[in-house]
Amino acid sequence: MDSLKEYLEELMDLKRVATISFRSVEGGMSTVKGHIVKIETVSGRDIIETDASMVIGADQIREVNGRRFENIC
């Protein structure tokens, strides 16, 4: 399976819509749907930004377009 970062970069490059389920800062689960517009590494942590102005740490992501990434953190 591709790594999460590779998959997110592919979705961004192809301008495909991503449905991302992630753990919020409060610990609950949230979902956002949109295009990934930016991926950067800040202090060793991969951060993604969507066109909905959501900023999510890759370590918070649990699922992207139905693909599970539970094992990343």
What are the DSSP calls for 7-40, one per residue? HHHHHHHTT-EEEEEEE-TTS-EEEEEEEEEEEE
**Span 23-71, pLDDT tens digits:** 988 889 999 999 999 999 999 999 999 998 999 999 999 999 999 986 5
pTM of the model: 0.87
52 contacts 11 by C-beta, under 8 angstroms: no
